[in-house]
Amino acid sequence: MTEAFKLGIVVPCYNEEEVLPETNKELTQIISNLVNENKITNDSKIVFVDDGSSDKTWSMIDEYSKTNDYASGVKLSRNFGHQSALLAGVTSASNSCDAVVTIDADLQDDVNAIPKMVDEFLNGSEVVYGVRNNRQTDTSFKRDTAEGFYKVMGWLGVKLVPDSADFRLMSQRACKVLLSYRETNLFLRGIVPMVGFKSAKVYYARKERFAGKSKYPLRKMLKLAINGITSFSIVPIKMIMQLGFLIVLISIGLLIYTIVQKIHGNVVTGWSSMMISIWALGGVQLICISVIGEYVGKIFNEVKHRPRFTIERDIYTEKTLKEENNEVK
């Protein structure tokens, strides 16, 4: 029997007052089962990350931290978005946990997959992906857009684990490597496979949101998708060059055609062709500039090296220090 290890479960929460009681209950149950099985130590923790919620989320987390030994939380100073909230939680948790699981607050991901992830970790995997084996509960729109996105990403040469989102387990070492990727524009799904180490997959059925509404409107989803593409691939810029060559080729053809027509004296007034080329080329140019602009904007944001999140209060670290002090005494 290997020695029990300390587990952290990071849960990003943005206005999740409706689901938190149930999430707290189910995750606590999972932790206490694992503690009873002697797989994890009893100082293992749930780390709720309040991503600048405007409802009662933080006061609930604060309350749980007092009444539940396994609960703790980190409060961000404002809304930084899902990916940064995850990173903030992983930063705190990986300081003292041997492995960190990240899971959404809405219980769409099956908490019963966590013990399976723990087993894979005990078998030596450092990254364990939660992979959903059905997406029946997502709207067909979300399913189709997600499928299209994975296709485009694959085509652009970005390695992703299909149908895995941000539900996964990472060893302390893998977390540290992840945190050493310093980019401000975060797309964790793309970075985690780059971390390497032995990995495994755990399959689970994705459920309906337990309560409340999705905090990922189309606008945020598109932003995540564009971010995913432009932080991992420069294929769009290369495509602009190919497009440029194609258009130059076409115009050489047109030039020859025009000269031949002129020699034969068939010159027409040429209004339609002028109009079409002005609009078509104008459009192509605008698109190309905007693609380049997207990357320039990215560089602009990255070179500033702004903090990716700001922690207002870290109950996880407060509790951990207290527990360590008690042990010493």
CA distance 117 to 94: 17
Q: Which residues contact 196 (CB under 8 A, 6 or more apart)?
A: 177
Q: Which residues contact 264 (CB under 8 A, 6 or more apart)?
A: none
Q: Does 102 bind Mg ion (CB under 5 A)?
A: no
Rounded to the nearest whole angstrom, what is the least distance from the CB of residue 194 to ligand UDP in the complex?
Answer: 22
Q: Is 144 exposed, middle or buried (0-12, 13-18, 19+ CB in 10 A)?
A: exposed
Binding segment (CB under 5 A) for Mg ion, from list 20-28, 106-114, 126-134, 191-199: 106-114
In the complex, the residues that contact ligand UDP under the rule CB under 6 A are 12-14, 16, 51, 79, 81-82, 85, 104-106, 108, 214-216
Let me know: does 228 contact 187? Beta carbons within 8 Å.
yes
Interacting residue with Mg ion among 16, 51, 106, 109 (CB under 5 A): 106
Q: In what order do the strands lie in the sheet with 71-76?
A: 199-204, 127-132, 164-171, 99-102, 7-13, 45-50, 71-76, 311-314
Q: Which is nearer to ligand UDP, 49 or 126 (CB)?
A: 49
| Helix (H) or strand (E) segment spanning residue 101 | strand 99-102
Rounded to the nearest whole angstrom, what is the least distance from the CB of residue 108 to Mg ion in the complex?
Answer: 4
Q: How many CB atoms lie within 10 A of CB 275?
A: 10
Q: Which is nearer to ligand UDP, 42 or 79 (CB)?
A: 79
User: Which amino acid appears at position 85 of this protein?
Assistant: A
Q: Does 108 bind Mg ion (CB under 5 A)?
A: yes
Q: Which is nearer to ligand UDP, 39 or 215 (CB)?
A: 215
Q: Which is nearer to ligand UDP, 104 or 126 (CB)?
A: 104
Q: Which is nearer to ligand UDP, 184 or 214 (CB)?
A: 214
Binding segment (CB under 5 A) for Mg ion, from list 10-18, 41-49, 108-116, 132-140: 108-116
Binding segment (CB under 5 A) for Mg ion, from list 1-9, 99-107, 179-187, 193-201: 99-107
Using DSSP, state whether 73 is helix, strand or coil: strand
Rounded to the nearest whole angstrom, what is the least distance from the CB of residue 205 to ligand UDP in the complex?
Answer: 15
List interacting residues with Mg ion (CB under 5 A): 106, 108
